[in-house]
């Protein structure tokens, strides 16, 4: 029988869910403002138009509820059966009439926020994961916050990532660092102007910047907002987000 673990800080979970609600409303306001032809415009995600980015966020919100089930039951679950299944789900949703895509975007995020209340109670799994990445079950909302913030910026509108809550930016950068830690990343010490620090691998190269600049580098490889040591002319190429 799996042990039952009480959540030590349910107030933090509720705070994260409240913040997810605020970030989601900003994101949905952008999505719902698009005219039909604007969904076909390119995004900052290479090879994806806006519709694919929006479909990705909605599908992620739906499938992250599997991690909520894992936390509650103790039975490990995968978000997708295969890469092909993931691709098929995204393409099917992205091809739907635009009003349906808008409606599903809102429904998926609102459903996750409601379902994630289970994280304030007793859990059978303290830790869950996506592939090789492992993190506390109570951090599942932060994973979706990162998705919403990064992909809101990917929609290439007047909204800037600086408009996100500082803690949401921290969630997004943390997600990016976790991604590096399970992939073939060069050794890095990442330091933000806000006082955050992460070490990846041997930590041999120090990279500095504010959270916005670091996130832009981690997520899309743009280096305008980072600072390298004297004598280092180029930032290393990073694994895909």
Instruction: Tell me the pLDDT tens digit for each residue of 147-174.
Output: 999 999 999 999 999 999 999 999 999 9
* Least-confidence region, from 69-73, 100-104, 167-171, 179-183: 179-183
**Residue 1 pLDDT grade (very low, low, confident, very high; cuts 50, 70, 90):** very low
Instruction: Give CATH 3.30.1050.20 domain extents, the chain.
Output: 163-240
Q: Is the pLDDT of residue 195 over 80?
A: yes
Q: What burial letters (b/e) apply to 144-153, b meaning 16+ CB within 10 Å? A: bbbbbbbbbb
Find the mean pLDDT for residues 173-193.
93
Beta strands in 118-214 (DSSP E): 127-130, 133-136, 188-192, 197-200, 205-209
- Percent with pLDDT over 90 in the chain: 90
Instruction: Give CATH 1.20.120.450 domain extents, the chain.
Output: 9-159
**Residue 2 pLDDT grade (very low, low, confident, very high; cuts 50, 70, 90):** very low
Q: Is the pLDDT of residue 3 over 60?
A: no
CA distance 224 to 239: 18
Find the mean pLDDT for residues 232-236.
93
Q: Find the helix or strand (DSSP H, E) in which 216 lies.
A: helix 211-220
Spell out the CATH class of 9-159.
mainly alpha
Q: What is the CATH number of domain 163-240?
A: 3.30.1050.20
Cβ atoms of 39 and 101 closer than 8 Å: yes
Cβ atoms of 12 and 141 closer than 8 Å: no
């Amino acid at each position: 029988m799996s042990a039952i673990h009480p959540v030590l800080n349910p107030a933090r979970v509720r705070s994260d869910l409240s913040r997810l609600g605020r970030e989601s409303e900003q994101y949905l306001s952008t999505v719902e403002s698009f005219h039909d032809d604007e969904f076909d415009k390119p995004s900052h995600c290479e090879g994806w138009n806006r519709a694919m980015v929006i479909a990705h966020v909605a599908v992620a919100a739906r499938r992250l509820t599997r991690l909520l089930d894992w936390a509650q039951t103790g039975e490990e679950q995968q978000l997708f059966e295969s890469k092909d299944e993931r691709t098929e789900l995204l393409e099917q949703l992205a091809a739907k009439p635009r009003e349906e895509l808008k409606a599903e975007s809102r429904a998926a995020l609102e459903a996750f926020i409601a379902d994630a209340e289970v994280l304030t109670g007793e859990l059978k799994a303290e830790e869950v994961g996506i592939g090789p990445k492992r993190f506390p079950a109570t951090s599942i909302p932060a994973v979706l916050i990162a998705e919403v913030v990064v992909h809101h910026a990917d929609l290439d509108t007047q909204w800037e990532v600086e408009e996100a809550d500082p803690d949401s930016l921290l969630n997004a950068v943390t997600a990016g660092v976790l991604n590096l830690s399970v992939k073939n990343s060069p050794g890095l010490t990442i330091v933000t102007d806000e006082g955050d620090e992460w070490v990846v691998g041997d930590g041999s190269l120090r990279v500095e910047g504010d959270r916005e600049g670091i996130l832009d580098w981690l997520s899309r490889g743009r280096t305008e907002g980072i600072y390298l040591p004297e004598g280092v002319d180029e930032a290393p190429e990073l694994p895909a987000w």
